[in-house]
Structure 1
Amino acid sequence: MQKFIGTGVALVTPFKNDFSVDVEALTRIVNYVIDGGVEYLVVLGTTAESATLSVEEKELVIATIVNANAGRLPLVLGVGGNNTAKVIEELKSRDFSNFDAILSVSPYYNKPTQEGIYQHFKAVADASPIPVILYNVPGRTASNMLPTTVARIANDCKNVIGIKEAAGDIVQAMKLIQITPKGFLVISGDDMITLPMVLAGGAGVISVIGEGFPKDFSEMVRLGLQRKVDEAYQLHYKLADAIDMIFEQGNPAGIKEVFKSLGLSENTVRLPLVSVNDDLANRLDNFTKINS
């Protein structure tokens, strides 16, 4: 699955000031990140505030991105949840003709055992008509998908092609790279440790900062994959402060402030999220003006 080596970006859902989906802004953002050189797009992930979108709004977001992309880049669709039967129902009923893979989060809130996580993803893999990328994000799910569990899934479910690993633990990421099958993609889900993961053998990243600064961040990942370490770290340290800032008061509030600074969209988020405060907005605005 060479198409998923490099930088994918988890697209936001821009809202107008009345909290409706801003189709024009979303189209601008898709063109911006494609022009910036990213390798693929992730639709309706956590960064899209998908938990706050209605069924109709999700379909609008999908249609807008598919139309704006116009077949230029591979597309990954977020299809996951903590009700296995409901996930399977969506997998069996949705048209995936415009998508190259799904990104499926480990079940949240229920806190399943490792066996429960394995059985959930085995059922998802059996039902999915396209390749599956697992998503481990313990900070949101309240459970950690262990490397041994991931390796078991990867060995038993041939259409599970990779994992977005967002535990923030470079040692765990290295263990994943070590024990998963050859060709299995270990993709960073943490912008700050993306380069170390790539240099350790990772396949790239599904990024948030790469959405705001696609040219520099995607080039950093490419340089890392080419083992041009010094050049890659120059770009890493150029963006490091921005990575901290965009997550300082929650995602996607931070990256939406960057998009406002770039003139691409409003910084509106839906409750229970709130926009960043004036201090952080000013710091992000200053960074963006200097580095965009």
Structure 2
Amino acid sequence: MSSPPPSGIYVPAVLFFDENEEFDVPAIKAHVLRLAKGGVTGILVQGSNGEAQHLSHDERKEAIRLTRKTLDENGFQDVVVIAGTGAQSTRETKKLCVDAKEAGATHVLVLTPSTWPPRMTKDAIIRFHREVADASPIPTMIYNFPTVTAGINLDSDTIGTLAEHPNIVGTKLSCGDIGKLHRLTSSVSPEKFATFPGTSSVYLQGVLSGSAGLIGALPNIAPKAHLSVWNLYKEGKLDDAMKLQALLGHADAAVSKLGGISAIKAIIAKEFGYGQPHVRGPLLPISADNFGGPGWDKVKELLELEKFLMAESA
């Protein structure tokens, strides 16, 4: 029987481009290494933050290969690589799952197709995910993110039904619904099915409800701060963990308002010295020099904490 990825912190890594929108390989490698050194359990290549829908098949495969190779060459063989393999047809999704295994991923994360929302009934959604899982050479996970799937929002009953499949081993709930998460963690064995919140705003709340950790965008900026929450919780220091969780929640909301993917790249380029804030159109780049407004003070506070933690472990 297939196994879920280990519990911990996973980050849908942003993918860096040069001014011609080609891969910035040195920046990609630098980012992968900072995340690994920051203590993440795994890296999700081609999550929504990785601009998967903006890449060709060959580029998607190369991004996975480059991530796995960078980790292996630098002593991080234990860091897991999950690949996003969402596509608009069952046939293409199956191919991307095969590509992901060949490139070095151990699990895949699958978005529900959304070009034709009225046709994506519960039966159609279940059939799609089961057919992909039947064909995938590595275990699959269900990616529920209504923002990027035309509002399609899988309920806990649908995900629970899919969890019965022997090759479907988890879910990422970017809907941020703690009630849904808790219904799943309390009804499906965590040894068979890992349930992850998809946003740092409910990271610790998810852990308290039995989640397997986090798959979220904010660790792109502050992996060590997220690891600190995890460690504080494990040590039974819940008050301290919740205080840090509050900072993560404020910062997560602020980064989203600043521009999401574009903002994350701009912050990394300015604060950590690698990469440029280039994105592929139709996304627009953002300059970190213009950041401010509600919540920006919390982002700055998080950056100061992250740099302190980096210096402390150096």
Same topology, TM > 0.5: yes
- 1:268 is aligned to 2:274: no
TM-score by length of 1: 0.91
Question: Which of 162, 174, 187 pairs up with 1:166?
Answer: 174
Cα 1:89/1:37, change in 2 over 3 Å: closer
**Equivalent position amino acid for 1:29 in 2:** H
CA contact (8 A) 2:4 2:194 kept: no
Q: Could you report, residue by residue, the CA deviation over 1:41-96 in whole angstroms, capped at 9, with x for unpaired residues?
A: 11111111111122332233222212111124111111122211221233356643
Cα 1:247/1:145, change in 2 over 3 Å: same
- 1:202 is aligned to 2:211: yes
In structure 2, runs of 5+ residues without a counterpart are: 308-314
CA distance in 2, matches of 1:65, 1:72: 13
- 3-state SS of paired residue (2:186): helix
CA distance in 1, matches of 2:95, 2:300: 46
Give the number of aligned pairs: 291
CA distance in 1, matches of 2:236, 2:90: 40
CA contact (8 A) 1:44 1:50 kept: yes
- 1:134 is aligned to 2:142: yes
In structure 1, runs of 5+ residues without a counterpart are: none
Question: Where do residues 86-125 of structure 1 align in structure 2 (5 Å cutoff)?
Answer: 86-92=92-98, 95-96=101-102, 98-111=104-117, 112-125=120-133
Cα 1:164/1:231, change in 2 over 3 Å: same
Which consecutive segments of 4 or more residues in structure 1 shift more than 6 A? none
Question: Where do residues 36-185 of structure 1 align in structure 2 (5 Å cutoff)?
Answer: 36-70=38-72, 71-92=77-98, 95-96=101-102, 98-111=104-117, 112-141=120-149, 142-155=151-164, 157-183=165-191, 184-185=193-194
Instruction: Identify which range, 116-125 or 223-232, moves more after superposition.
Output: 223-232
Aligned to 2:259: 250
CA RMSD of aligned residues (A): 2.2
CA contact (8 A) 1:199 1:227 kept: no
Instruction: Identify which range, 169-178 or 88-97, moves more after superposition.
Output: 88-97
Residue 109 of structure 1: CA displacement?
2.9
Residue 229 of structure 1: CA displacement?
1.6
Q: Could you report, residue by residue, the CA deviation over 1:94-133 in whole angstroms, capped at 9, with x for unpaired residues?
A: 6436221111112223221111110001101100111111
CA contact (8 A) 1:151 1:181 kept: no
CA distance in 2, matches of 1:288, 1:18: 32
- % identity of equivalent residues: 25
CA distance in 1, matches of 2:215, 2:194: 12
Q: Could you report, residue by residue, the CA deviation over 1:143-176 in whole angstroms, capped at 9, with x for unpaired residues?
A: 1111111111111x11211100111222222222
CA contact (8 A) 2:201 2:250 kept: no
Q: Could you report, residue by residue, the CA deviation over 1:209-242 in whole angstroms, capped at 9, with x for unpaired residues?
A: 1121000112213433555321211221233332
Residue 32 of structure 1: CA displacement?
0.2
- 1:35 is aligned to 2:28: no
CA distance in 1, matches of 2:292, 2:69: 31
CA contact (8 A) 2:265 2:276 kept: yes
Residue 2 of structure 1: CA displacement?
6.9
CA contact (8 A) 2:107 2:140 kept: yes
Aligned to 1:279: 290
Q: Could you report, residue by residue, the CA deviation over 1:14-40 in whole angstroms, capped at 9, with x for unpaired residues?
A: 012232210000100011011111111
CA contact (8 A) 1:246 1:253 kept: no
- 3-state SS of paired residue (1:42): strand
Cα 1:203/1:95, change in 2 over 3 Å: closer
